């Protein structure tokens, strides 16, 4: 028990009961006698045990030398977290840590029934955990009295400021008693956090644990380069290769979360989604499914997964690259906890390699660059796992002997083993064949050679599309449609490769695309019944080949209509009717000279100088092209 010296006895018993043998650096730092009763600004990475750390730090101040709390009344401590999941997780951690002290811990988080929370506060609580917005609502409605607070904890303070909670935090801190203790925990300490600490803390002790300078040594960072169209296939192979007990796949948008969730469900993975559009009940059920083993893959956005802690989370996959080093560290910090090894895999399209290198350098992370696991490598790992399965080494039970003997006599050992192998593989999604990527240092082909084509040509020449299937996309030249981004999008959304795509015909308002028969079936299945792609592009299957002749007559590429398409000029005796208008013949004489064209009005306003009225028919084709001809013309009118 020497490791737990200086800890409140009831708290030390709870740690021992939980299986703690040693404290993390941040937990030890919070037990420093020199920190007793003082404010603190603590920077420690996600997964370093911050919740238990501030629980240990608060206990002496709240218990005031007693071993157990008295009857609950006005809250003594307030813990603020940025998201509902993190707040509820903090509540669970504090409940087991303070179990033997008799503490009552209430939660106030958005998405929950406010009336239920109000009744819990009326019954009394020693510690309240909540999100900034909901806590402000309770304070303004006088259902939460914070006049007796002895301590306020801001967990993930940097994230709360990023999410726009500055005004709510300032309101809570200004309403709380001035003689309180304020503890701020943050993964990083940017200028905004330092300013907040300066305004609302008194002589705060700055604590920087070793994990701030050195990233998790238990996380294996791997940067996997892929062809853009193989991004999702690479994720499938990564999930299959590691077969982690729990895995998180991070996306940048809700739409990407929904797309990958549908795709992986179709591939047989047990998947749950976690994004901001879900209700609190749906989010709670998703996390519970991960905890009890009903789901093994969570596809989430950054904000939705902030601060969640899942047992046995051994794999983090970055489907979309992080935008900054802090996001990379927060995502990766979901794994590699409590001494467990973890893998953080970045899916890097070839065009994003330089950007990824800069990101890793800024985060001070050394990653192993490699290709994603191939189908052969995934199958090899499956065979290794099967041979190491404990079921093969368990002794034969008495109640099994007779039937085992019957199986062997009826089918033979080889056939029984084959049946067992097939049964094992049925429960696993088949790995994907990936396109090869250039080796390290090999010069990458220009982007235009990879995806693009001249504006009036199809990007690929296919001679084997005898049964091609055409579809129409609701985007064309006027919407800046180009093969160089259309083809990767079709491959990414439709589970295709470039070999599945034939001719592409661009029109002003739509684009016709030809697929192989197998590729078309796979594409239409992958995009789902709504038949909508990224950017709201709608897909319409066609019964046969489109009629391109009509598009050409209408000026497919925005050119002027050909002159031949105009109505022909009237003809008279095989000559243009208004030929005299181009070379008018004039009568000799001066004033009153008129055109010999029938029905025309007099030209002359001045002798010999014809003047064309606005509605008198076409003007002359042009001026005489030489000085001699101009003189001759003038002489005819004199």
Domain annotation covers residue 402:
no
Between 112 and 632, the more confident residue is: 112
Average pLDDT over residues 127-139: 94
Q: Which residues have C-beta within 8 Å of that of residue 253, sequence separation ≥ 6?
A: 301, 320
Q: What is the pLDDT of residue 143?
A: 94
Q: What is the pLDDT of residue 219?
A: 86
Q: What is the pLDDT of residue 442?
A: 42
CA 529 to CA 262: how far, in whole Å?
A: 12
Where a domain ends, among 213, 246, 269? 213
CA 251 to CA 275: how far, in whole Å?
A: 10
Same domain, 229 and 203: no
Host domain of residue 543: 447-553
Instruction: Report residue 451's pLDDT band, with 50, 70 and 90 as the boundaries.
Output: very low
Instruction: Report residue 298's pLDDT band, with 50, 70 and 90 as the boundaries.
Output: very high
Instruction: Report residue 558's pLDDT band, with 50, 70 and 90 as the boundaries.
Output: very low
**Three-state DSSP class for 194?**
helix
Q: Most distant CA pair in the chain: distance in Å?
A: 134
Q: What is the pLDDT of residue 224?
A: 94
CA 30 to CA 32: how far, in whole Å?
A: 6
Same domain, 73 and 138: yes
Helix or strand (DSSP H, E) at 541: strand 539-541
Average pLDDT over residues 140-149: 93
Q: What is the pLDDT of residue 122?
A: 93
Domain count, the chain: 4
Same domain, 234 and 166: no
Token digits of residue 92: 């669970």
Instruction: Report residue 151's pLDDT band, with 50, 70 and 90 as the boundaries.
Output: very high
Angle at which helix 191-200 crosses helix 166-175, to 10 degrees, equals: 20
Q: What is the pLDDT of residue 78?
A: 95
Domain annotation covers residue 33:
yes
Domain annotation covers residue 93:
yes
Where a domain ends, among 379, 399, 423? 379
Same domain, 125 and 50: yes
Answer yes or no: is pLDDT of 632 > 70: no
Answer yes or no: is pLDDT of 337 > 70: no
Q: What is the pLDDT of residue 304?
A: 67
> For the ranges 26-40, 529-543, 546-560, which has the lowest average pLDDT?
546-560
Same domain, 136 and 249: no
Answer yes or no: is pLDDT of 566 > 70: no
Domain annotation covers residue 172:
yes
Same domain, 475 and 624: no
Q: pLDDT tens across 404-431, in order?
A: 888 888 888 888 888 888 887 776 778 8
Average pLDDT over residues 247-256: 90
Strand partners, 97: none
Average pLDDT over residues 18-25: 83
Between 579 and 61, the more confident residue is: 61
Average pLDDT over residues 56-61: 89
Between 135 and 426, the more confident residue is: 135
Same domain, 592 and 466: no
> For the ranges 66-80, 178-192, 331-345, which has the lowest average pLDDT?
331-345
Same domain, 7 and 82: yes
Token digits of residue 538: 């709608």
Same domain, 246 and 364: yes
Query: Closest by alpha carbon to 605, among 619, 595, 592?
Result: 592
CB-CB contact of 590 with 605 (8 Å) = no
Q: What is the pLDDT of residue 216?
A: 53
Strand partners, 79: 129, 153
The full 3-state SS of 547-579, as one line of letters, equals CHHHHHHCCCCCCCCCHHHCCCCCEECCEECCH
Answer yes or no: is pLDDT of 284 > 50: yes
Same domain, 108 and 140: yes
Between 34 and 261, the more confident residue is: 261
Same domain, 170 and 263: no
Q: pLDDT tens across 345-399, in order?
A: 999 998 899 999 999 988 888 899 999 999 899 988 888 888 887 778 788 888 8
Q: What is the pLDDT of residue 547?
A: 75
Q: pLDDT tens across 159-208, in order?
A: 788 778 889 999 999 999 988 999 998 877 777 788 888 888 888 888 87
Where a domain ends, among 356, 379, 402? 379
Token digits of residue 426: 């049925």
Same domain, 200 and 262: no
Query: Closest by alpha carbon to 318, among 304, 337, 331, 336?
Result: 331
Domain annotation covers residue 148:
yes
Q: What is the pLDDT of residue 564?
A: 43
Domain annotation covers residue 400:
no
Q: pLDDT tens across 1-15, in order?
A: 456 767 888 898 988
State the chain's mean pLDDT as an integer. 78
CATH number of the domain residue 94 falls in: 3.40.50.300
Quick count: other Cβ atoms within 10 Å of Cβ 346?
Answer: 27
End-to-end C-alpha distance for the chain, whole angstroms: 128
Strand ranges for 251-305 from DSSP E:
271-274, 297-300
């Amino acid at each position: 028990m020497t490791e737990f010296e200086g800890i409140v006895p009831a708290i030390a018993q709870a740690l021992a009961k939980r299986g703690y043998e040693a404290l993390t650096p941040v937990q030890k730092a919070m037990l420093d006698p020199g920190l007793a009763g003082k404010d603190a600004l603590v920077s420690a990475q996600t997964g370093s045990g911050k919740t238990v750390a501030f629980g240990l730090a608060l206990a002496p101040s709240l218990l005031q030398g007693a071993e157990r709390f008295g009857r609950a009344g006005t809250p003594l401590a307030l813990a603020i977290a940025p998201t509902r999941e993190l707040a509820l997780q903090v509540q669970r951690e504090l409940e087991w840590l303070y179990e033997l002290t008799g503490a009552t811990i209430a939660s106030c988080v958005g998405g929950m029934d406010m009336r239920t929370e109000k009744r819990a506060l009326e019954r009394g609580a020693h510690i309240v955990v909540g999100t900034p917005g909901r806590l402000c609502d309770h304070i303004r409605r006088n259902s939460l009295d914070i006049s007796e607070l002895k301590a306020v904890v801001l967990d993930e303070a940097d994230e709360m400021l990023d999410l726009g909670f500055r005004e709510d935090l300032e309101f809570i801190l200004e309403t709380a008693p001035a003689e309180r203790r304020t503890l701020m925990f943050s993964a990083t300490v940017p200028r905004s956090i330092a300013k907040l600490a300066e305004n609302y803390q008194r002589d705060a002790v700055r604590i920087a644990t070793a994990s701030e300078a050195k990233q998790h040594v238990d996380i294996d960072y791997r940067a996997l380069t892929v062809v853009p169209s193989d991004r999702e296939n690479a994720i499938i192979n990564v999930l299959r290769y590691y077969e982690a007990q729990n895995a998180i796949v991070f996306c940048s948008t809700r739409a990407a979360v929904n797309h990958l969730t549908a795709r992986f469900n179709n591939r047989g993975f047990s998947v749950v989604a976690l994004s901001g559009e879900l209700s609190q009940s749906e989010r709670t059920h998703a996390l519970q499914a991960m905890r009890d083993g009903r789901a093994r893959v969570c596809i989430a956005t950054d904000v939705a997964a902030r601060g969640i802690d899942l047992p046995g989370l051994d794999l983090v996959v970055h489907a979309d690259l992080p935008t900054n080093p802090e996001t990379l560290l927060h995502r990766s910090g979901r794994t590699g906890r409590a001494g467990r090894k973890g893998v953080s895999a970045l899916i890097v399209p070839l065009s994003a390699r330089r950007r990824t290198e800069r990101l890793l350098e800024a985060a001070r992370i050394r990653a192993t660059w490699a290709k994603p696991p191939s189908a052969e490598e995934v199958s090899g790992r499956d065979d290794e796992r099967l041979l190491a399965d404990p079921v093969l080494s368990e002794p034969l039970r008495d109640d099994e002997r007779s039937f085992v003997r019957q199986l062997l006599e009826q089918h033979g050992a080889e056939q029984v083993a084959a049946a067992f192998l097939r049964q094992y593989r049925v429960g696993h999604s088949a790995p994907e064949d990936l396109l090869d990527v250039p080796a390290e240092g090999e010069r990458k082909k220009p982007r235009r050679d990879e995806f693009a084509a001249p504006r009036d040509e199809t990007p690929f020449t296919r001679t084997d599309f005898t049964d091609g299937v055409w579809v129409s996309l609701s985007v064309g030249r006027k919407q800046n449609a180009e093969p160089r981004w259309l083809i990767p999008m079709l491959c990414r959304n439709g589970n295709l490769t470039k070999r599945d795509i034939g001719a592409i015909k661009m029109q002003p308002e739509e684009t016709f695309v030809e697929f192989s028969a197998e590729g078309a079936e796979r594409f239409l299945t992958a995009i789902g019944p709504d038949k909508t792609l990224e950017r709201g592009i709608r897909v319409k299957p066609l019964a046969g080949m489109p009629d391109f002749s009509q598009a050409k007559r209408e000026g497919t590429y925005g050119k002027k209509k050909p002159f031949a398409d105009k109505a022909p000029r009237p003809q008279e005796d095989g000559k243009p009717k208004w030929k005299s208008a181009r070379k008018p013949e004039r009568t000799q004489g001066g004033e009153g000279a008129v055109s010999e064209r029938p029905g025309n009005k007099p030209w002359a306003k001045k002798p010999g100088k014809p003047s064309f009225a606005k509605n008198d028919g076409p003007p002359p084709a042009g001026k005489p092209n030489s000085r001699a001809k101009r003189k001759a013309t003038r002489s005819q009118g004199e």
